[in-house]
Structure 1
Amino acid sequence: MNFYEEWVELDLNPIISFSSSGKIIFSNSEAQFLLNRIKAKELFDLALTYAPKTFGANTSYIDLSLKNYTFYAITVMYENEDEIHMKLYKSAMVKKENKINIKNINTTNIFTLVDLAISSSKIKTNANYIKNYDPSIPEFKLDASSFIKTLGQVFESFTGCENITSTIMLKIGEYIKIDGRKYSLISVEISSDNEITINNLNPKEDNSLILTCEDNKITIDLPLIL
């Protein structure tokens, strides 16, 4: 890796190169975190939207929120019809996943914690709770207190839903880098057929989870630390 390649790799902003068909040719480390949250096609479409009308580069100042990220600008460049390159500039308000705190956490059974949160939620609602757990997931280290508090807030967002599905799974091919080490991701996904109202979701900034909210689904991703 030469100097310029290493410089791009260390950039704190996502940098992605696509082929003309939308296939990812290159992505730096920060872009890989983004791709854990956003589909490649969505980012490719974004690049096409802000691409210059002729060969060259174009920078647009935007106010764009994508899952845990907020961006204030985008640069798109292409010099031929085969490749297009994009750089997104993160706002200072973005949640920094690489600052996840993994100190002073204990080994815990994730299924027990989710079941506990479901039991507490059942007291407040008549919803039908559906469980979809991957039994192969081992016990791992996490901040149980922060997780159970956040999960309780998540279930409150589903108040009024008839069916609530809790899924616990290993994210294949996805990871997060913390202090230079790669960790696989365990995903706890709470979803419903109905659109939900996001209320009171305010996890600690230095906690050990990544929270993603959508119209009818909230996902908590946790590093698999054994």
Structure 2
Amino acid sequence: MNIGIIGAGNIGASLARKLASAGHVVKLANSRGPESLQDIVQGTDVIAATKEDAVRDADVIILSVPYAKMPELAALLADVPASTIVVDTSNYYPARDQAIAEVDNGKPETLWSSEQIGRPLVKAWNALLAQTLDEAGSEAETPDRIAIPIAGDDPVAKAVVSGLVSETGFDTVDAGTLTESWRLQPGTPAYCTELSAEDLKAALGAAQEGLAPSKRDAIMQSMVDGSVPFNRAAMIANNRAMTGSITD
């Protein structure tokens, strides 16, 4: 499969390496050009590309850019065929991103992004830490394999993305349509809590839409003020405690 990834931060770069190792043709691009990606692609099969080249002839395009930058990708994707699956891995943090009134007023993050770029999206790989993606993947059928939620309006596209997620080391749980994708946004029990598929289903069902933003901001503040160490174990434990996630 031909996969283009826009954004070479921790998530985008890790996905590029994992999916290339799984045998896909992966082109990775960022805003600074291919020459800035040499340290990331060195020793891998990942191809450093321009943004235009990364989306050309891609079967799947993964957008892993800062949330507020999503509208800037509309022009890049304008001529991409409708059959191409586009995945959104981003998350909205108003303290980090510019404030977006529609999202602050309750519009699901990826529904807003889909409207900005003018095409359907699948939400995936957003609800796990970069460290989890790098360190905690396992083979399919592994007992208690970590699962991540996905959401989207096209069942066929979600099935393709679920297969790619499995190749990166994780099970998936279908969280529903983009309208329902608030259930996997920051501040919910499903977000960055490293649950098995069974527990993740329960966590998605337990999410409370109105409480998520305040919990998101409190979790972010706990890391900014240093009360939670910036390591995987501490952040997962804090996320579980502050969101009421299932841990048994």
Give TM-score, length-normalised by structure 2: 0.22
Structure number with the higher helix fraction is 2
TM-score w.r.t. the length of structure 1 is 0.24
Larger Cα Rg: Structure 1 or Structure 2? 1
The structure whose residues are more often strand, as a share, is 1
